[in-house]
Amino acid sequence: MGQKFRDFPLKAYLALTGLARGLRDDERGLEVVQVVLIILVGVLLVVALWGALSGWLSELWGNITGAGDTIEEIKF
């Protein structure tokens, strides 16, 4: 019984380091993380592009609709 108590700290240490080593080498969840990061980057790029283009498109649409009032009717 005494031997079990003396070996317990060593066995616990080896079990925890083995668990840590196993978690470090485990790559099963890596694909999910990569997919989520790729989707996140794509969404952020679309949002950035939309933010950059929305001001330009609003100005362009304002020029188009504002120019419609200045067009004169052509009489034959």
pLDDT digit string (tens) for 19-69?
A: 667 656 666 667 778 888 999 999 999 999 998 888 888 888 888 887 766
31: in domain? yes
Side-chain-side CA neighbours of 13 within 13 Å: the count stands at 5
44: in domain? yes
> What is the secondary structure of the chain as a DSSP string?
-HHHHHHHHHHHHHHHHHHHHHHHH--TTHHHHHHHHHHHHHHHHHHHHHHHHHHHHHHHHHHHHHHTTSPPPP--
72: in domain? no
pLDDT at 46: 94
35: in domain? yes
**Does the pTM of the predicted model rise above 0.75?**
no
Structural domains counted in the chain: 1
74: in domain? no
pLDDT digit string (tens) for 9-20?
A: 777 777 767 766
Give the domain range for residue 21: 2-67
26: in domain? yes
